């Protein structure tokens, strides 16, 4: 896929058109800014750490059933995404009091927030992102009441997943920011989930592992970002190993689920292998990437009754979505012109 015209440059990311309708390329740059652009620097590798972490978390969230704009990586700092109609709202979920919450309200830093607090700000630097409430969101026609509920549900679902995930890495997810957009009438998680958009504390030492290190000159920003990226990557390898060896949970229901998922994945793998052989192609030689696609197909088969493409969004219209049941209507042209299908499942020999 070719990078096209530059559409937008933000504080740390640039967005380009591509030669595929509805697909954009996001470049995570090494720029870092704080205090509405009052503090600025360029830190080598920062863009690739944020891109890698975002890609990993978007993939995991997709596996949890959250719709995200993520399609795949072009290189270590460039990501392909669905073009969304962005909603100008920053959705912040707070699990522990910190940052502006402590500055604005009578609450001590570090106070746990249970249930978590959702805050929504109107995204506008010139107005310093004023806080919204439900009525203002409806009055400003930013979201309909149904869409607002969906955003809140998704925000809490993402928070549950990320909080558990970071906890397993010895990190507290203090708070984080999300942005959502719309695609074919669906609410879809966009933007990024990275050390620039999350507040992360080491569970044992309380040390910051996020952009606060830069904001408040607390130490070496890149080594904090690297630490988080490396922990996440190491956990990904363990999860891949767990997935392929089928290690079970203690819960009998869970065992049943994992076993049947494994069986379905095996069945799908046999089927895609046969199809590749028939076409004179091969499957993705990178085992981890191959298993992510197979798992996505199995998940869609279980959830929707069809092997919908795991890297394309369903429109919800059954007739229209027939075009993205694997093998989708696009795959032959993609393998011929680009060397592989969109999900990097089938490859030319």
Q: What is the DSSP letter of 4?
A: E
Distance CA(73)–CA(192), nearest Å, equals: 13
Site string for ligand SF4, 110-149 (x = CB under 6 A): ----------------------------------------
Closest to ligand SF4 by CB, 141 vs 349, is: 349
Closest to ligand SF4 by CB, 67 vs 341, is: 341
Closest to ligand SF4 by CB, 227 vs 299, is: 299
Count CB atoms within 10 A of the CB of residue 285. 8
Closest to ligand SF4 by CB, 128 vs 336, is: 336
Tokens of 269: 């793998």
CB of 76 to ligand SF4, least distance (A): 22
CB of 267 to ligand SF4, least distance (A): 15
Distance CA(70)–CA(54), nearest Å, equals: 9
By CB under 6 A, which span of 144-152, 220-228, 251-259, 341-349 interacts with ligand SF4?
341-349
Query: Does residue 342 bind ligand SF4 (CB under 6 A)?
Result: yes
Query: Does residue 293 bind ligand SF4 (CB under 6 A)?
Result: yes
99 Cβ neighbours under 8 A, 6+ residues apart: 175, 199, 212
Query: Does residue 295 bind ligand SF4 (CB under 6 A)?
Result: no
* Polymer length in residues for the chain: 349
Query: Does residue 299 bind ligand SF4 (CB under 6 A)?
Result: no
H helices of 249-286, in order, are 252-279
CB of 331 to ligand SF4, least distance (A): 3
CB of 333 to ligand SF4, least distance (A): 10
How many residues touch ligand SF4 (CB under 6 A)? 13
Question: For residue 27, which of 35, 7, 341, 38 has the smallest C-alpha distance?
Answer: 7
Q: Is 2 exposed, middle or buried (0-12, 13-18, 19+ CB in 10 A)?
A: exposed
Closest to ligand SF4 by CB, 249 vs 323, is: 323
Site string for ligand SF4, 301-340 (x = CB under 6 A): --------x-x------------x-xxx--x---------
CB of 228 to ligand SF4, least distance (A): 30
User: Buried b vs exposed e over 173-189: b needs ≥16 C-beta within 10 Å?
Assistant: bbbbbbbbbebeeebbb
Closest to ligand SF4 by CB, 190 vs 327, is: 327
CB of 154 to ligand SF4, least distance (A): 23
Q: Which of residues 6-65 bind ligand SF4 (CB under 6 A)?
A: none
Distance CA(277)–CA(128), nearest Å, equals: 57
Distance CA(143)–CA(133), nearest Å, equals: 12
Distance CA(343)–CA(296), nearest Å, equals: 10
Closest to ligand SF4 by CB, 228 vs 343, is: 343
Of 84, 200, 213, 345, the residue at the interface with ligand SF4 (CB under 6 A) is 345
Kind and range of the H or E run holding 62 = helix 46-63
Closest to ligand SF4 by CB, 221 vs 311, is: 311
321 Cβ neighbours under 8 A, 6+ residues apart: 306, 308, 314, 315
Residue ranges in contact with ligand SF4 by CB under 6 A: 293, 309, 311, 324, 326-328, 331, 341-343, 345-346
């Amino acid at each position: 896929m070719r990078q096209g015209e530059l559409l937008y440059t933000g504080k740390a990311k640039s967005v380009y058109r591509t030669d595929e309708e509805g697909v954009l390329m996001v470049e995570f740059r090494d720029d870092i800014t704080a205090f509405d652009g009052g503090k600025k620097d360029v830190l080598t590798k920062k863009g690739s750490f944020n891109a890698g972490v975002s890609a990993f978390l978007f993939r995991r969230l997709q596996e949890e059933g959250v719709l995200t704009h993520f399609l795949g990586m072009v290189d270590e700092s460039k990501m392909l995404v669905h073009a969304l109609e962005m909603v100008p709202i920053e959705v912040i979920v707070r699990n522990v009091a910190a940052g502006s919450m402590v500055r604005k309200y009578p609450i001590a830093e570090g106070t746990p927030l249970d249930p978590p607090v959702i805050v929504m700000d109107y995204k506008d630097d010139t107005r310093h992102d004023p806080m919204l409430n439900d009525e203002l969101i409806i009055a400003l026609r930013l979201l309909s009441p149904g869409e607002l509920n969906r955003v809140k549900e998704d925000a809490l679902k993402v928070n549950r997943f990320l909080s558990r995930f970071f906890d397993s890495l010895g990190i507290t997810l203090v708070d984080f920011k999300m942005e959502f957009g719309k695609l074919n009438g669906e609410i879809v998680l966009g933007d990024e989930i990275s050390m620039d958009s999350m507040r992360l504390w080491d569970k044992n030492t309380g040390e910051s592992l996020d952009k606060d290190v830069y904001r408040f000159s607390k130490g070496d920003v890149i080594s904090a970002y690297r630490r988080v990226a490396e922990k996440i990557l190491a956990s990904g390898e363990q999860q891949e190993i767990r997935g392929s060896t089928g290690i079970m949970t203690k819960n009998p229901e869970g065992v049943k689920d994992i076993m049947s998922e494994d069986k379905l994945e095996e069945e799908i793998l046999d089927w895609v292998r046969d199809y590749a052989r028939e076409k004179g192609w091969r499957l993705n030689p990178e085992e981890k990437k191959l298993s992510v696609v197979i798992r996505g197909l199995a998940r869609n088969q279980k959830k929707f009754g069809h092997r919908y493409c795991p890297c394309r969004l369903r429109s919800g219209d059954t007739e229209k979505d027939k075009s993205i049941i694997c093998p989708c209507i696009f795959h032959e042209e993609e393998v011929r012109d680009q060397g592989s299908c969109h999900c990097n499942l089938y490859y030319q020999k």
